[in-house]
A = this chain, B = another copy of it.
Amino acid sequence: MPVVTFKPNGILVNVPNNSSLLNAAKLAGISVETPCGGNGVCGRCLVKIEAGKVDFFNNGILSDEMLNEGLVLICKTKVLDEPVSVQIIAHLETERGKFSVMAEDMMLISKALLPSNSQIEPIVKKLFLKVPAPNMGDGLADLDRLRKAVLVPINAQDIEIAFSLLKNLPEVLREANGEVTINYFEKGNIVSIVDIEANDKTQEQYGVAIDIGTTTIAVLLVSLPKGDIIASKTSYNAQIECGLDVISRINYASKPQRLEELRTKVLETINGIIGELSADNGIDMLSIYNASIAGNTTMVHLLLGIVPQYIRLEPYTPAVFKVPLFTANEVGLDICPNTCVFIAPSVGSYVGADITSGILCTSLATNSSEVCLFIDIGTNGELVLGNDDFLLGCACSAGPAFEGGGIENGMRASLGAIERVEIDKETGEATFSTIGNVPPIGICGSGMISLIAGLFSTGRIDAGGKLNRAKPCTAIDANAKNAKYIIASAELCKNNKAIYITEADIDNLIRAKAAIFSACRVLLHNVNMDFSDLSRLYIAGGFGRYLDIEKSKTIGLIPDLSAEKFIFIGNSSIIGAYMTLLSKTHREKQQELAQKITYIDLSTEAGYMDQYTAALFLPHTDFNLFKNIHKETN
């Protein structure tokens, strides 16, 4: 009967050999979240084994580095015949799931969509060469011998070489006795050499997949020969200081020095992450030869320092959709300076490279005739509808409500955020849970959906989002200037200030959900379809990851389809960037899809305002759209 000690509280439990650590935790009274059902894929039960051996079954979600640090998932760990000391950690101290979100997302994506080993073909490839020694009288300079050696295995017309490489070519070739690995890409029928390394380095090949979100930047460090994810990291986009959303960033960029400031800031964040990932894994940043970038149209413009103003000025024409291959040095990435950077194509001012990357994670990439809808829910909602026959894309401005913005006690989904609320049918009072099970600090998007769904289905708010003043309820304070509903009283809260939601907050959330729902309808109406025609509805985005389907339907955010039609694909943008980092097939498929998407500008689309106005009710003015979900409540 080994002893298991749970830190930091120091709770001791005795359990039989081969007990699951999950049971031990329950025995210790520790609340362990297992949203994945204990299958070891969501990573939310991460702990650190500080002493003692355990039996942990890793299904690939934890990196070797994490394992070496003693990290395991409670749900997949068994206690052996020795004392164990377990530290409860990580994701509860930091933003939810930060450490593993991307690995977790990878699990959400159908394996069939990911590049197979035989599809792995990054843009910048490696080739080991034996360049003959210089020989008097053969009339060949160093560059000529290199050219000759390259054009034997590669069928091309000529080579080109980065300027800085030529400077040391004589030394590089002679010091390595001509045994060198070239890093190159094909530019039409020209082999363009971006770096030359001594000896055979073909197995040491690294790349980064980068998702530049308006708020968060995510990077995967990948070993390219097989596509293994070595490590991943996210960080806030340092541009946040200059404005929370794309419009305020575009406004901020109106002066050239500020545009440059934004460019510098996003590069600081990206290079900072790449630097940490490289250092943590003992990889030289300069030996990273591939980078694949996704991000919305504005983020791509700002990364490249391109004047972004015309994205938001009529007729809403960005400078570029398909960004040519520029060098890392030009772009400003601190990887091999002469290598080239792949940036996914955009299709409209607000349907960007994040979306063309995201749809690679859906059946839209599979030439299927089944119609499906992809929705990336965030400050902007971006939608793509279609099948192998047609593709329509649009974007709507949901506002920051889902991310806690513009909500009095709103916050992002991080430690202390109320993420789930239940309303007592009788008293109308709330019970709630917070991320990390700590005293609440505020309420995040999923908490608000849960709250409003509960208030609506218990009759505490009406279809217009107004609090029901007629039905007595201690939680409702209708006397304040702005009527409010108290979720958590002051004594329960971390800052000793009550957490509440006002009618104005509710209105904000209704506007947000109306924007998305009406955009869906407009796209469908464009092809004379209805929700019932959809085979699948993919929900992407960090926020979408924690969406409660039933409650989202209750408020009319998502359509009233059966649960199995909804597929959560998390941060599909970074997964798409991972796919295009690895595979030429996927890059070509992405380009094909991007060219196929017809971009609908909702601001000029007849009918959008009517649809939007009709959706400004809970769940909708047309109640028939949600008859399944609401039949028992009314």
**Which residues of A come within 8 Å of B, CB atoms?**
134-137, 139-144, 157, 160-161, 163, 166-171, 174, 188-190, 304-307, 309-310, 314-322, 324, 326-327, 330-331, 346-348, 598-599, 601, 604
Contact = CB atoms under 8 A, between A and B. Distances in A.
Contacts of A160: 324
A428 to B, nearest CB: 49
Given A167-B307, A168-B307, A307-B168, A319 B136 contact: no
Contact of A309 (B170, B305, B322): B170
Contact of A321 (B143, B321, B598): B143
A324 B170 CA distance: 16
Contacts of A601: 136-137
A535 to B, nearest CB: 27
A174 B318 CA distance: 12
Contacts of A314: 136
Contact of A169 (B309, B319, B326, B604): B319
Nearest to A173: B319
Contact of A188 (B136, B140, B167, B188): B188
B141 A320 contact: yes
A317 B141 contact: yes
A315 B134 contact: yes
A315 B136 CA distance: 5
B317 A166 contact: no
Contacts of A188: 157, 188-190
B170 A321 contact: no
A338 to B, nearest CB: 11
Nearest to A307: B170
A169 B323 CA distance: 13
Given A142-B318, A174-B310, 11 more contacts: A134-B315, A135-B315, A135-B317, A136-B317, A140-B317, A142-B319, A142-B320, A144-B321, A169-B319, A170-B317, A188-B190
A348 B163 CA distance: 21
Nearest to A326: B163
Contact of A141 (B137, B142, B319): B319
Contacts of A140: 317
A161 B304 CA distance: 13
Contact of A167 (B137, B157, B305): B305
A598 B139 CA distance: 8
A174 B171 CA distance: 49
Contacts of A168: 307
A318 B188 CA distance: 28
19 contacts: A135-B315, A136-B314, A136-B317, A136-B604, A139-B348, A139-B598, A141-B317, A141-B319, A141-B346, A142-B310, A142-B320, A143-B321, A163-B326, A163-B327, A166-B306, A169-B320, A170-B307, A170-B317, A170-B319
A565 to B, nearest CB: 30
A326 B165 CA distance: 12
A180 B326 CA distance: 23
B167 A306 contact: yes
B163 A321 contact: no
B320 A163 contact: no
Contact of A320 (B136, B166, B347): B166
A331 B166 CA distance: 12
Contacts of A189: 188
Contacts of A599: 139
Contacts of A346: 141
Nearest to A310: B170
A136 B314 CA distance: 8
Of A157, A306, A348, A598, which is in contact with the most chain B CB atoms at under 10 Å from its CB?
Answer: A306
A250 to B, nearest CB: 12
Contacts of A326: 163
A310 B135 CA distance: 12
A139 B322 CA distance: 12
A404 to B, nearest CB: 33
B304 A167 contact: yes
A274 B63 CA distance: 58
Contacts of A318: 141-142
In order of increasing CB-CB distance, the 10 nearest A-B pairs are: A136-B315, A134-B317, A163-B330, A143-B320, A141-B321, A142-B319, A170-B307, A170-B319, A141-B318, A163-B326
Of A134, A170, A307, which is in contact with the most chain B CB atoms at under 10 Å from its CB?
Answer: A170
A249 to B, nearest CB: 16
Nearest to A316: B136
A382 B314 CA distance: 65
B310 A134 contact: yes
A574 to B, nearest CB: 24
A167 B331 CA distance: 11
Nearest to A349: B141
Nearest to A171: B307
A598 B160 CA distance: 25
Nearest to A160: B324
Contacts of A317: 134-136, 140-142, 170
Nearest to A318: B141
A318 B146 CA distance: 13
Contacts of A139: 347-348, 598-599
A182 to B, nearest CB: 15
A574 B102 CA distance: 61
